[in-house]
A and B are shown apart, each in its own frame.
Chain A
Amino acid sequence: MSRLISVVSLFLFINVKKISRGVIKVSKDFIDDKKLEDILAQVKPTEEKIETIINKSLNKERLSLEETATLLQADKPEWIERIFKGAEELKNKVYGDRIVLFAPLYVGNKCINNCEYCGFKASNTEIDRCTLTIKELQAEVKAMEKKGQKRSILVYGESPDYDADFITKTVQAVYDTREDKGEIRRVNINAAPLDIEGYKKLKEVGIGTYQIFQETYHHETYQRVHHSGPKRDFKWRVTGLDRAMEAGIDDVGIGVLFGLYDWKYEVMGLLEHTIHLEEKYNVGPHTISFPRLKEASNVSIDDKYFVNDEELKRIIAILRLAVPYTGLILTAREDAKLRREAIKLGVSQIDAGTKIEINGYSDDDDEQDINREQFVIGDSRSLDDVIYELLSDGYIPSFCTACYRLGRTGEHFMEFAIPGFIKRYCGPNALLTFKEYLEDYASEKTKDVGEKLIQEKLAEIEDEKTKEKIEAKLEEIENEKRDLYF
């Protein structure tokens, strides 16, 4: 009987979607494979051209498809080295020494799609299917808050059970759950594409970024690896963030699962998507993610297009140069050593203390169970351990959520480009949120190193008035005030 209900609900889900797609005008598929491949084939990198392109990027201008293709085709070791150096310089210029930290929270792994690469695919009968109840979700949030997490991304499979109303309910539950001084102040979403009405519901509950990964921008590959389910519809997915924008959500994230098709083509796809959003809605994606294919339960994938570490570093450096103001996210799929190198090249956000198992945060068991997870994680260190390493490398961990609490988002966020913005807001806010972490959650060794680093950063501030204002707020935090920002 339950099987029959599942089949009927799946039928209804797909057909309701078809009906809504008929009523709502679906935007045009803006990815032209041939165009992207032709550009990649036609560019001829030279030292002079690479230098000019890097200089444009250092002036904080977004690169064109042709310029990005030139960097992608620059295969000589000395050219690659130059690109790495340029990316490092730009990273320092735009983002300074801040690294934003977050943690994913898997809400449910039911899925009606059959994606060749994913452990959650519908045909995988070995995986334990479950969805957190609101009570379980609250327990997870409390466990995260106890560690000091302030920013989370909720992850959902694609299932009729995870519609906009369900997502809305879970977001609200996360925002309402507080453990002592802890609170999750920003909830991002990684879920299936919705229709405009669905996005509007999510906008009402104040989500952060809505993230949809296209996985691959190559149409033929896309059809080959997405065997069945709504995700098989390339156009519905690639225009998913257009509908989000039309619903008023101007804070969106894009991504590719590297390893499905040629990595150079996929970088071009990400840039084409960025340009499309910029041209149509005056605002590009807030973040870009670039996970690589990893081992998962009941998954075997042709490794023809697998991306090695060196190639991943090139992807990060070129993306950094191509889209200077877009946040780059590198997740705990990657191991600690690679993450450390990648941060230098342009990554601005990482997850830490990550658990990708359903009920993973409230469950004390640290062992990964591949039958309850989407993939194997490479960096399973605690939040405190990751922070300690960041501090040792001179980075300031940031849990800042000020921009989205002050309306500095979307088009308004473009003021980020004004010289001084980072120095006056992002740097100080990173210090304030980090100070909260040190006061409430840090281990002794992290606290020692952290306090010293805060003092060093304060000493670097030349403007006395600014320094005094930050010091005053730091003192307020020591006196138990929380959630302060500029």
Chain B
Amino acid sequence: MKKEIYTFKEELSKLIDQDNNKVWLNKKASKRIDYIFKVGQEQFTSSEVIGENDEFLLLGQNIDKKLKDKLAILFNDYFNSDKN
């Protein structure tokens, strides 16, 4: 999984505008969520859920609908598909 998370980050980086978006991957642990990595800079806007499964949560800031759809597909490809 570690390698997959690394490649997921690489793929995310290609989609994200470092200055104008921020996404960060987290692992769920009861009420707490644990940060794994981030791409982009703090945007000071509300956080929204981009993708989610039982174990992981991808949050984002300043993500428009088009980008959100792309990111959600990527998240599902890595974390919600049968191969994983």
Contacts and interface: CB of A to CB of B under 8 A. Distances in A.
Contacts of B30: 171-172, 175, 204-206
Residue of A186, A406, A421 ringed by the most chain B CB atoms within 10 A: A406
A486 B46 contact: yes
Interface in A405-453: 405-412, 415, 418, 420-421, 424
B31 A186 contact: yes
B42 A175 contact: no
Contacts of B26: 406-407
Nearest to A183: B31
A421 B42 contact: yes
Interface in B1-34: 24, 26, 29-34
Interface in A150-206: 171-172, 175, 185-186, 203-206
Nearest to B46: A486
A407 B31 contact: no
A207 interface: yes
B32 A404 contact: yes
Contacts of A486: 46
Contacts, number: 57
B59 A406 contact: yes
Interface string B41-76: 010101100000000010100000000000000000
Contacts of B33: 404-407
Contacts of A104: none
A205 B29 contact: yes
Contact of B35 (A171, A205, A207, A412): A412
A175 B31 CA distance: 8
A410 to B, nearest CB: 6
* Interface footprint category on B: 10 to 19
A248 B35 contact: no
Contacts of A324: none
Interface residues of A, number: 29
A227 to B, nearest CB: 37
Contacts of B34: 203, 248, 407, 409-410
B42 A407 contact: no
A208 interface: yes
A420 B31 contact: no
Given A205-B29, A205-B30, A407-B26, A424 B44 contact: yes
A415 B42 contact: yes
Given A406-B59, A424-B44, A486-B46, A204 B29 contact: yes
B54 to A, nearest CB: 13
Nearest to B37: A412
Contacts of A412: 24, 35, 38
A418 B31 contact: no
Nearest to A404: B32
A248 B33 CA distance: 12
Residue of B32, B36, B59 ringed by the most chain A CB atoms within 10 A: B32
B64 to A, nearest CB: 18
B18 to A, nearest CB: 14
Contacts of B38: 412
Residue of B29, B31, B33, B59 ringed by the most chain A CB atoms within 10 A: B31
Interface of A: 171-172, 175, 185-186, 203-208, 248, 401, 404-412, 415, 418, 420-421, 424, 469, 486
Which 9 residue pairs spanning A and B have beta carbons closest together? Answer: A206-B30, A206-B32, A407-B35, A407-B26, A206-B29, A412-B35, A424-B44, A407-B33, A404-B32
Interface of B: 24, 26, 29-36, 38, 42, 44, 46-47, 57, 59
Given A421-B42, A421-B44, 8 more contacts: A175-B30, A206-B29, A404-B32, A405-B33, A408-B35, A412-B24, A412-B38, A418-B42
